[in-house]
Amino acid sequence: MLNVKPGWKNWQLLTEKGRQIWAFKPSSNNINAHLQNVDNITDEEIAQFAKDFQFDKSSNPNSGDKVFRNTATDTKFQNFTGEIPQSANPDKQKIIGALIKGMNYYSYLQTEDGHWPGDYGGPLFLLPGLLIASYISDSPFPKAHQEMMKLYLFNHQNKDAGWGMHIEGESTMFGTVMQYVSLRLLGVDKNHEQLIKARTWIKNNGGATGIPSWGKFYLAVLNLYDWQGFNSLFPEMWLFPKWLPVHPWRYWCHTRMVYLPMAYCYAQRIKAPENELILSLREEIHNENFASINWPKQRDTVCEKDCYTTPSPVLKWMNFFTNNYEKFKSAWLRKKSTDYILKYLNAEDEQTSYINIGPVNQAINSICIWHAYGKDSVQFKKHAARWYDYLWVAEDGMKMNGYNGSQLWDTAFATRAMLESDLGKLFPATIAKSYRFIELSQIKDEHPTHAEFFRHPMIGSWPFSTPENGWPVADCTAEGLSATLAIHHSGLVKPMVDEQRIKQAVDVILSYQNTDGGWATYELTRAPKWLEKLNPSEVFADIMIDYSWTECTAACVISLLEIQETYPGFKTSEIRKAISTGLNFILNQQRADGSWYGGWAVCFTYATWFGVEALSKAKGNGYYDDATLAASITGACAFLLDKQKADGGWGETFKSCSTLVYSEAAASQGVNTAWALLALMAAEFSERKVIESGINVLLNKQSAIGDWPQESISGVFNYNCMITYANYRNIFPVWALSRYYRRYVQG
């Protein structure tokens, strides 16, 4: 029924307890059988790939997850056969039809284990890291995977022959050099037409010495850059006393977990052996002869197309000292710090079943573990098996996801979206499966080494992806809890998450509140804001500490409000205080124009939805001065009204995130439209026409079988890198329609 190209059929997504593995021509559903290099591809199949994974990024660089979706629905999809409620009013019937169609289609994408898989690509600096780990450890991917990776890399080359930080971005040195080198590691000839052009881009923009520091790191590991051209990572910093504000235990966990293995590689000056390929690459990417480059001078050179944050004078001072320390360093202290780092790396590996917290440290830890224990060690093998958890196949080829998936997050949202109205109850099997996954994903144990390695207590929490990844997240806990409550209220399942576990989740949420009243991502804010002055990344902002965010705060406040309704006597005064200080934080984050800036999706419509949702839910319950809440909500509605497009929808581009100024998209976007509508309906905005015209945009965008088109990229991190949330195109239109049905149709 849907377009399924022959080459796509060779790829099958295997899932188990949230784990996602793309297998090529799988002989069984056993995931473990597909985690090694098995070469089973023929030349004809390679030729077929080249045809079937041709992707034209010029009209839209976002692939539509067609390989997963079209093959998953191809044989089993059926139109909804249950009883559809009838309304005499044709407009109302249209809403009912669209909503049921939307939920029906979407339920076919759910896996047996109960979650919704989806493309989580977008950033272009991730796959290169993994390929470098695979190259240096001499652990190649199967040929089928390699071919698919090449196609992906070529598919995302920009018109000017460079590559961006992410699939929608303009070309940068970081993006271009990393993809160029990746293609060469994958065996593409340097005289390939697209590589010749890419080389010209690199050379015309000053050559690879201008790559930002993370790129310098990867190139140094490959022996394409000299470690002397790299600012010291000062591994001894891990031996600092813990009370010091600059001790890395206080950094945002992602920053901490990336700079940790980087410091190990730096301390060991890990570099690939020189060979023909490396020698040739040195000439290909640098403007000067490798041997005559003045390396120390390159430490702070960054191509202007890459600069997002400028290094502060404090950072420069610190670099001056730490770089000089390298000349006089104590061998004893260096050994002590690298031993400590290695111990920490092992702990992170074990705590996460070798998945690691994210895609960057997964690749770099692999390099460290290979260096420390060798290719045949058990530890390294466990690492390399997890590489596959990050790979994703779509019609643009094989990419590396930005996490080992967004399983829990999407499942919680999808469930809440469906259960917002009674029509969701027409899908009891779907809800029962979601519930199983949500139940399974709640974290039940603490790892023995969690306190030693600075982990936030996590029993009762939910992670963003899977329990094996196991890093608890504040707002994921809130979403997991809200979804659990919604399912319990639906009466569709026999509760498995008992009262004790609900209370544990509440305790986790309470434990995550910062002194500013807000909630951050994975941990409390552990150091003062001035630490940001030490951000050495050049390409990301606000990465040094875990900041309170509007979205995270709103999600936590909402779940606490729901807990107050369902478990009225539980920790009442503590929860009430948490809610009111949370509301206060949200109010303080609101901008003069009535909007909120969103740090984790695009952008103002996203956070404004969260802000309004929390405030509206709290209003009238004595948590805060109601007049203040009302004024804030009115301001937010005025903002949204001002941004509504002529066709009735809303649309923002990723530039909103990096420029911090609302950037209107040329066309309405389903996801932004849904967020704006959810906010307006939560606010009980009085002008029905405004809401109706937005709803019409969603209806018009819906396809015959109930899907919505993949439009622009909708996720972001650290202001400057975009990330795909393939499930959002279904979840949020369904949610907006559910809310519309409940408020205006159901009667």
Contact pattern for ligand LAN over residues 59 through 98, marking x by CB under 6 A: ----------------------------------------
- By the rule CB under 6 A, 213 interacts with ligand LAN: no
What angle do helix axes 728-740 and 90-107 make, rounded to 10 degrees?
150
3-state DSSP assignment of residue 116: coil
Residue 258 makes contact with ligand LAN by CB under 6 A:
yes
DSSP letter, residue 89: S
Least distance in angstroms from the C-beta of 721 to ligand LAN: 7
- Of 129, 207, 248, 402, the residue at the interface with ligand LAN (CB under 6 A) is 402
**Choice from 254, 399, 526, 645 touching ligand LAN (CB under 6 A):** 254
Closer to ligand LAN at the Cβ: 586 or 697? 586
404 touching ligand LAN, by CB under 6 A:
no
Task: Give the number of other CB atoms < 10 A from CB of residue 331.
Answer: 7
| Closest by CA position to 398, among listed 388, 384, 407 | 388
Between CA 268 and CA 346 the distance in angstroms is 17
Q: Which is nearer to ligand LAN, 658 or 668 (CB)?
A: 658
Residues of this chain, 329-388, that bind ligand LAN according to CB under 6 A: 358-360
Cβ atoms of residues 126 and 165 within 8 Å: no
Nearest partner of 441 among 414, 419, 417, 412, judged by Cα = 412
Residue closer to ligand LAN by CB (options 110, 469) is 469
Q: What one-character DSSP code corresponds to residue 515? A: T
Q: Provide the 10 A C-beta neighbour count for residue 291.
A: 7
d(CA 265, CA 365): 9
Minimal CA–CA distance to 422: which of 411, 431, 413, 434?
431
CA 231 to chain centre: 28
Catalytic residue among 52, 306, 475, 546: 475
> Closer CB to ligand LAN, residue 504 or residue 718?
718
How many residues bind to ligand LAN according to rule CB under 6 A?
Answer: 20
Instruction: Give the type of residue at 73.
Output: T
Nearest to 215 by CA among 299, 326, 315: 299
For ligand LAN, give the closer residue by CB, 217 or 409. Answer: 409
Q: Is 260 in the site for ligand LAN (CB under 6 A)?
A: no
166 sits near ligand LAN (criterion: CB under 6 A): no
Nearer to ligand LAN, 8 or 344 (CB): 344
Site string for ligand LAN, 512-531 (x = CB under 6 A): ---------x----------
Our finding on whether 148 is near ligand LAN (CB under 6 A) is no
How far are the Cα atoms of 80, 165, 431, 705 from residue 83, in angstroms, in the given order?
8, 48, 17, 17
At closest approach, how far in Å is the CB of 625 from ligand LAN? Answer: 27
Interaction between residue 506 and ligand LAN (CB under 6 A):
no
d(CA 100, CA 103): 5
> Is 376 a residue of the active site?
no
Mark residues 535-574: x for contact with ligand LAN by CB under 6 A, - for none: -----x----------xx----------------------
Segment near ligand LAN (CB under 6 A), from 45-53, 99-107, 144-152, 401-409?
401-409
Which H or E run includes 413? Answer: helix 407-419
Which residues are bridge partners to 721 per DSSP?
A: 717
- Give the Cα separation of 535 and 531 in Å (integer): 8
Is residue 101 part of the contact set for ligand LAN (CB under 6 A)?
Answer: no
Within 715-734, the residues that bind ligand LAN by CB under 6 A are 717-718, 723
Residue in 476, 586, 636, 737 binding ligand LAN, rule: CB under 6 A = 476
Asked if 11 contacts 23 with a C-beta cutoff of 8 angstroms, the reply is yes
Q: How far is CA 31 from the centre of its chain?
A: 23
Binding stretches for ligand LAN (CB under 6 A): 254, 258, 358-360, 402-403, 409, 464, 473, 475-476, 521, 540, 551-552, 600, 717-718, 723
Please identify every residue annotated as catalytic: 475
